Amino acid sequence: MRAAVPALAAVVVALAGCGNLSQEDLLFRAGVPAKQAVAVVPPGTEDEVDDALSTRAQGLQATRRQAVEEACDGDLLCETRNLARGFNGFTFFLLDIVDAISALPPTERSPGRRVWGPHFDADQGATFRFEMNRADDGATFSFCLHAARGFVGRAPAVDCDVESDEESGLQRVLTGSFAPSGIAGDSARLGKGTMRLETERLNRLNGEARFARVVDFAFDHTDGQTDIHIDMLGASVDEVERDAAYDFTRSAAGDGTLAFDVFADLVPGDGLLGRRQLERVRLRAAWLADKAGRAIGVVDGGNAGEQTFTIEQCWDTGLATVYRRDVGGEENGDVGQCAVEAPALD
Amino acid sequence: MRIAAALLCSLATLAVAGSAHAAPQRFAVLIAAHDGGEGLPRLRYAGRDATRLADVLVDVGGFARADILSVVDGDADVVRDLLEALRRRVEETKARGNEAIVVVYYSGHAQDGRLRLGDDTFAMSELRALLEDSGADVRLAFVDACGAGAITREKGATLAAPFVVKVDDALQTTGQVIIASSSRDEVSQESDEIQGSFFTHYLTTGLRGDADRDRDGQVTLDEAYAYAYGRTVAATAETRAGAQHPTYDFDLKGRGDVVLTSPGGADVVVQFPGELEGRYFVVDLDRQLFVAEVDKQKGGTSQIALPRGQYAIKKRLDSHLLMTRVQARAKGTIVVDERSMETVSFADDWAKGSPIAGVSSRIDQAVGFSFAVGGATSAVVATDGVDDGGLFPAVASFAGRARFHHLLRSQLTLDVDVAFGGTRSTRVVDGGALGTAAFDVDVRQAQAGGAILWEQPLGEVVGLDGITVLAGPRLSGLLFTHTFIGDVRPAGLAEQNFLTFTPGLEGAVAWSFSSWGHLEVGGRAMYLPYTVDSLRHLAVVEGFATVWLDL
């Protein structure tokens, strides 16, 4: 009897207060950015992006599978799709993890703060910890995601300031802030925010080659209008670290613009010591709601040397090329069939 | 020889009556009094003795529960009321042309020719007169008042004032037998080991079948008295108070025998075969009650009748116990096999029986089990004044309850309940700068609780017969589930829930509308610790109404 009373008391204390019946949890759920808020959707990727928005990546390798590239052969629209797949692959993968873990009851709750995990995700074969903090203004949430390969059996002393916890192996792979447009309905989880993808750490966890050091996103998805600015810092291109910036806009109706910098071997020739040389391609595209659009790529550097080449391409509503001007200035098709004016090059 | 002859004579009446009328109606009045007034020690087992006898009368004596009237710790007026109720029932029975047998039993203190009912007294002569006036064909009275010691305690009268008052010359009545638990100059005793008085203990054991000398499946008055006499004298011979000798007074005419019980026709018969020898105790595990003690002599077969249930049979040896568990769930005979009994230390005895005493104003309420269905409405009161946006809306529930009477001690009831309810509500979430959202939710609430309630029949206090008040502490588990419905839902979240424990108090008023059921209305106030968003101290208030079936 003497042992039963404290045992019963312990059970009561342990079981009391289990659950997630919380008003504030609903606010935090609204503060988790949706994949839709950061989706880059150039013409021709609408269906695959829709699929990706409604499904969850099945493993770390999915980041690469989702980024399977088309063979473009200098097709500018194709290049934009490949770039969009690359970015979406990383962001969707991480936000899928965030979405799954934040749907669970938080591991820690305190006013203005929620922590989930560390949770082992058998599908990913990895352990994740997600933390959100609500700013004093009540409208902005900051967040971070840590990941470790394998199982982390205890809760380490990790917070958003910790980049890497040696003891547990947890690496910070995502940070950001987000101001949702509202709490419920279409406005929840869509809004304005920033994200930093620690791609170098993520690639290390994947066991893959270095892709870039970090990728910064600034996004604003309000009333169906999407504006995304991406800075890729320390991108490993041709064994040289380069920085690049990307802009994407898309209206609720579907028309939009792209401004991407890509690197491609468009001009034949060998570089020093027989290495191939990549040319920088500044790609600008604009399209209408019916998908008909126009892109201009300016090639320089690499085998182009001091020269500058311009590639231009127009496509119709079925995404078939109706006009093309290649590196050598040769034109195919009728420029009069281009549905939009040539995007301005900055 | 005198009593045997007398009883043989007395039995004739019943036998003749039995041949003319197939089933005489049987009634009983059981009176238990723990307190004997100033200067007398409080008895521990008077109520329990009455309970045991009631069980035997119902199990194997042909008595209906509804025909057993009882009172515990009532005053003389209550006893008179019961005897008057008995008289009316006998009168109705006789008016229908049936014969009637009545049993009156008293367990308590007695002094100077009076039963001691707390601060009140009741003259033995009045009891005799009322018994005679009952009009029953056969009237039996058992008067048990005694007890003493560290293990046995003196129960009733002082040695100088015996309780059996002028049995020989004051209670001689045609058709009437009075049996007292001790003689004029002795005290009767009760025992902690058997959790009852010696006399009633052996009387009930005998009635269950161990007194059936001729193995005809029936225990007669003669057999029961002889058995109770012999066992009581033997068991009390070594006590500090000394041997206790039951006595009798009779005046019966006719031929035949008075059959008190028919254990041979019982559902469950426990048989102690010839090779067994020693003292065997039978404990009702469902109720933790001693129901019988069989002092088995080698050679003959003993058997006792029991209602269906779960029992422990144990044999006490010098250094340890032999114990076995018996599941008597179906009709049949269970043969005790000592070889299959497990050896158990005294400290590990798992069938000690709990020291319960007392019966309520109705014996059918005092023993056994009740269950109920009903409805409840609960609301959470925000004692901190915080507007939580409808986190805990008021909920109507359907409730089921069960109650175990007198498991722990007299007037204490163990009550368990479950309730399921729900409502449709709207949760309003204030996001500050993010605006406000309203989410429609289906709210479901499940509750399971247990309470220990003190039962106080008001009939014993202020004369409000049939009204009982109950109150006591309660602990419940409470599960809230909110399922989001409607067009506006939180992102990626379908359901929320919360489980907590809520200690509190419960009170109720019960009204008995028949011998088998009662209505109850009551309320609860419980503490609800909410711990999710922040620690909040909330209160749950609940009202309920239930309809009870008393088994």
Q: Which of A16, A34, A103 sits opposite B493 (nearest CB)?
A: A103
Q: Please state, in angstroms and rounded to a whole number, the distance separating the CA atoms of residues B18 and B8.
A: 15
3-state per-residue secondary structure call for B63-111: CCHHHEEEEECCCHHHHHHHHHHHHHHHHHHHHCCCCEEEEEEEECEEE
Is pTM, for the whole model, over 0.90?
no
- The residue written with tokens 């300016």 in the block is A298
State the nearest Cα–Cα gap between A132 and chain B, in angstroms: 15
Reported confidence tier of residue B167, pLDDT bands at 50, 70, 90 = very low
Enumerate the residues of chain B whose CB falls inside 8 A of the CB of residue A16. 499-501, 529, 531
Q: Best mutation site among A11, A21, A99 for testing chain B: the one with the most B CBs within 10 Å? A: A21
Mean pLDDT of chain A: 83
| pLDDT higher than threshold 90 for residue B441 | yes
Q: Best mutation site among B495, B499, B532, B540 for testing chain A: the one with the most A CBs within 10 Å? A: B532
Report the C-alpha dihedral over residues A152, A155, A158, A164, rounded to 10 degrees: -10
Q: What ipTM does the predicted assembly reach?
A: 0.78
Per-residue pLDDT reduced to its tens digit, B190-236: 677 777 888 888 888 888 888 887 888 888 877 887 788 778 777 77
Enumerate the residues of chain A whose CB falls inside 8 A of the CB of residue B493. 25-26, 29, 103
Straight-line distance from the first to the last Cα atom of chain B, in angstroms, rounded to the nearest whole number? 43
Mean pLDDT across B467-474? 92
Q: Say if strands A171-180 and B247-251 run parallel, antiparallel, or are unpaired.
A: unpaired
Q: What is the pLDDT of residue A7?
A: 66
Q: Which residues, other chains included, contact A140 with Cβ-Cβ below 8 Å and sequence gap of 6+?
A: A134, A177, A178, A179
Enumerate the residues of chain A whose CB falls inside 8 A of the CB of residue B438. 184
| pLDDT higher than threshold 70 for residue A70 | no
- Residues paired with residue A218 on neighbouring β-strands, in sequence order: A194, A229
Per-residue pLDDT reduced to its tens digit, A314-343: 999 999 999 999 877 889 999 999 999 988
Compute φ and ψ for B363, nearest 5 degrees.
-65, -30
* Interior/surface letters B234-250, b for 16+ CB within 10 angstroms, e for the rest: ebbeebebebbbbbbbb
Enumerate the residues of chain A whose CB falls inside 8 A of the CB of residue B502. none
Reported confidence tier of residue B159, pLDDT bands at 50, 70, 90 = very low
Mean pLDDT of chain B: 78
A137·B388 Cβ contact <8 A: no
Mean pLDDT across B292-319? 82
Query: One-letter amino acid identity for B418?
Result: V
Q: Which residues, other chains included, contact A274 with Cβ-Cβ below 8 Å and sequence gap of 6+?
A: none
Q: Which B positions 478-537 lie with beta carbon below 8 A of chain A?
A: 480, 482, 487-493, 496-501, 529-534
DSSP per residue, A23-51:
HHHHHHHHTSPPGGGG----TT-HHHHHH
Straight-line distance from the first to the last Cα atom of chain A, in angstroms, rounded to the nearest whole number? 82
A183·B529 Cβ contact <8 A: no
Q: What is the pLDDT of residue B152?
A: 23
Q: What is the pLDDT of residue B456?
A: 83
Q: Please state, in angstroms and rounded to a whole number, the distance separating the CA atoms of residues B310 and B175.
A: 39
Residue B480 DSSP symbol:
E
| pLDDT higher than threshold 60 for residue A311 | yes
State the nearest Cα–Cα gap between A42 and chain B, in angstroms: 26
8 Å CB contact between B260 and B61? yes
Six token digits for residue B230: 């012999």
Six token digits for residue A160: 């958003």
Per-residue pLDDT reduced to its tens digit, A151-204: 887 767 889 999 998 888 899 999 999 999 988 877 888 999 999 999 888 877
